[in-house]
């Protein structure tokens, strides 16, 4: 059975037609930074939450998908140090596919030691790390590209098929859709949920801001605005005309939540996922403009230097 030509063309454009790898590279860098910050934060709680004398003893740790067994504090610290090394390699783009897989395996090992301390940010960080491992994230802004092509390689991006990136995008949209669906409780419907959340003292980052918890109009706008933004992010991110606005709204949503509440690394991870929706062609055009300006400035400097040398050359005399 032959598919309609329009459907075949749309499928090829969606999954096969190559495009610059800028969005994947930017997502890789942010994910690498998130893994780095997550790893450093975990180092402070090894003895109390993950070691052999932790609140949850090693014999009660989950064995599912736990390919590396970490039971002692020293073993877990070693794994976290390895995660720091992996995160740096991911950030700079040195064999990022390999290091993304290594980071995923190590995160699973650490997280399976005590699942009681996990939150949604820990889980989505692990998931996006694995999904990015199936994409050529090193095709732009990477040490590998710099070593192969020199400085000019940093101004350009390899052309890659987007099928792996679509998996990341689909995961991001599903997260937003379920985040919206989970907020179907009475407080969200009545428009007071944000006030309740911001009153939780153990989650406050900078203390309570009265106008955000007591003004009914502000609280209602923030509560229902969150629902609207999450619904749009979960359903309309693939609609190109609205995509730039939605990316900005998503970033603002996470930055505002992280600025007010201690919610782990969920926001930074989701921002990394949002970066895969950036317009690769627009970034490529911008980078090529910068490259041309750089070449023009270098050429102008060379000409000025040549003129200066000519002006300073000794003038020959005739008898």
Q: Cβ neighbours of residue 130 under 8 Å, at least 6 residues apart?
A: 100, 101, 104
Write out pLDDT tens, residues 3-13.
676 777 878 88
Write out pLDDT tens, residues 123-180.
999 999 999 999 999 999 999 999 999 988 899 999 999 999 999 999 999 999 999 9
Query: If you count them, how many residues does the chain have?
Result: 319
Highest mean pLDDT of the ranges 110-114, 157-161, 306-310: 157-161
Report pLDDT for 9: 81
Could you tell me what percent of the chain has a pLDDT over 70? Answer: 93
Residue 233 backbone phi and psi in degrees, to 5: -65, -30
Question: CB count, 10 Å around CB of 121?
Answer: 18
Strand, helix or coil for residue 110: helix
Report pLDDT for 311: 65
Write out pLDDT tens, residues 261-271.
999 999 999 99
The residue extents of the domains of the chain are 17-285
Q: CB-side exposure of 70: number of CA atoms within 13 Å?
A: 28
Write out pLDDT tens, residues 207-255.
889 999 999 999 999 999 999 999 999 999 999 999 999 999 999 999 9
Name the region of 264 (left: φ>0; alpha: ψ -120 to 50; beta: rest).
Answer: left
Mean pLDDT across the chain: 90
Report pLDDT for 56: 83
Report pLDDT for 224: 96
Q: What is the DSSP string of 81-99?
A: HHHHHHHHHHHHTSSHHHH
């Amino acid at each position: 059975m032959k598919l309609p030509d329009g459907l075949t063309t749309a499928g090829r454009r969606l999954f096969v037609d190559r495009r610059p790898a800028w969005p994947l590279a930017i997502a890789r860098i942010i994910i690498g930074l998130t893994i780095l910050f997550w790893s450093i934060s975990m180092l402070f709680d090894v003895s109390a939450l993950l070691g052999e004398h932790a609140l949850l003893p090693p014999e009660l740790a989950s064995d599912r998908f736990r390919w590396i067994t970490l039971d002692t504090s020293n073993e877990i610290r070693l794994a976290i140090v390895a995660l720091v090394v992996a995160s740096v390699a991911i950030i700079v783009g040195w064999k990022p596919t390999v290091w993304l897989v290594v980071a995923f395996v190590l995160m699973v090992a650490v997280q399976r030691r005590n699942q009681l301390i996990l939150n949604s940010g820990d889980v989505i960080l692990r998931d996006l790390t694995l999904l990015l491992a199936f994409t050529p994230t090193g095709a732009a802004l990477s040490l590998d590209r710099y070593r192969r092509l020199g400085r000019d390689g940093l101004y350009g991006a390899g052309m890659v098929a987007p099928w792996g990136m679509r998996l990341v995008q689909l995961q991001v949209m599903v997260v937003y859709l379920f985040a919206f669906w989970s907020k179907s409780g009475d407080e969200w419907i009545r428009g007071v949920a944000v006030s309740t959340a911001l009153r939780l003292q153990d989650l406050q980052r900078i203390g309570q801001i009265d106008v955000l918890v007591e003004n009914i109009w502000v609280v209602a706008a923030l509560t229902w605005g969150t629902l609207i933004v999450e619904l749009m992010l979960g359903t309309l991110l693939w609609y190109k005309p609205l995509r730039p606005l939605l990316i900005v709204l998503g970033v603002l949503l996470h930055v505002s939540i992280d600025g007010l509440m201690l919610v782990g690394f969920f926001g930074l991870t989701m921002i990394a996922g949002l970066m895969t929706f950036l317009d690769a062609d627009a970034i490529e055009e911008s980078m090529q403009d910068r490259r041309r300006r750089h070449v023009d400035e270098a050429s102008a400097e060379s000409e000025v230097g040549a003129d200066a040398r000519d002006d300073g050359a000794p003038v020959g005399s005739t008898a």
